[in-house]
């Protein structure tokens, strides 16, 4: 049995400490890279079929609508052999106080019963928001372990936090 890192992240215009900045690799993607490297495990990015806009504001508006309407988000197929996986490291940006709808959609599709889930997120101040409660509700038969929240602008300085987090729960 083994672990897999599954995450969603968006590159393009973002707000860093309140200022618009264009980033070519999303914050959560960078964090996911670090975690997967440290664990030496497979890393899978969830990619929406209908790409989010480059512009921050347009993405924020679309995400608000998707959340309000509980939308399912079509994403490119992912190849995970569920029978070989017992641990899921699940990464996402905090969007409107929780995980983006693409994560909710993935959790609807993926058999999470019996899984150990380690959530991690990036954010601009609200850490996990209400996402851990939602995760518990969506995955009632999984064991949700302590999560790692990292401020988006601090991902490049998160190695020690990652190390400590991975040592917990052992
Ligand atoms: C649609 C949208 C909604 C957001 N909502 C929040 C929020 O509610 N709380 C927060 O702290 N940050 C919020 N942010 C900021 C992101 O969580 C933060 O920039 C994150 O690091 C982006 O990760 P990514 O580059 O992997 O997409 C939001 C960003 C976007 C695009």
CA of 21 to the centre of ligand 1 (A): 13
What is the DSSP annotation of 6-31? EE----EEEEETTEEEEESS-HHHHH
**Mind listing the pLDDT tens digit for each residue in 101-132?**
999 999 999 999 999 999 999 999 999 999 99
**Mind listing the pLDDT tens digit for each residue in 132-166?**
999 999 999 999 999 999 999 999 999 999 999 99
Instruction: Write down the pTM of the prediction.
Output: 0.97
**Mind listing the pLDDT tens digit for each residue in 21-43?**
999 999 999 999 999 999 999 99
Q: What is the position in ligand 1's atom list of the atom closest to the CA of 64?
A: 1
List 4's β-bridge partners, or say none.
Answer: 42, 88
Q: Is the shortest distance between the CB of 20 and ligand 1 below 6 Å?
A: no
CA of 92 to the centre of ligand 1 (A): 9
Domains of the chain with CATH codes: 2-167 (3.40.50.360)
Ligand 1 pocket test, pick from 62, 63, 95, 98 with the greatest ligand atom count within 8 Å of Cβ, gives 95
Q: Is the shortest distance between the CB of 59 and ligand 1 below 6 Å?
A: yes
- Rounded to whole angstroms, what are the CA distances from 158 to 2, 28, 30, 77, 127? 24, 12, 10, 30, 14
């Amino acid at each position: 049995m083994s672990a897999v890192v599954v995450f969603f992240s968006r590159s393009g215009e973002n707000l860093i400490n309140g200022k618009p900045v264009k980033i070519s690799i999303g914050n959560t993607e960078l964090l996911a890279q670090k975690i997967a490297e440290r664990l030496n495990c497979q890393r899978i990015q969830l990619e929406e079929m209908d790409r989010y806009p480059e512009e921050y504001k347009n993405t924020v508006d679309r995400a608000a609508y998707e959340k309000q309407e509980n939308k399912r988000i079509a994403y490119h197929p992912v190849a995970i052999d569920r029978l070989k996986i017992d641990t899921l490291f699940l990464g996402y940006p905090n969007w409107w106080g929780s995980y983006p709808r693409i994560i909710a959609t993935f959790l609807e599709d993926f058999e999470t019963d019996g899984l150990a889930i380690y959530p991690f997120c990036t954010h601009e101040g609200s850490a996990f928001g209400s996402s851990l409660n939602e995760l518990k509700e969506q995955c009632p038969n999984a064991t949700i372990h302590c999560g790692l929240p990292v401020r988006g602008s601090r991902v490049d300085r998160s190695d020690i936090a990652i190390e400590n987090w991975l040592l917990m729960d052992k």
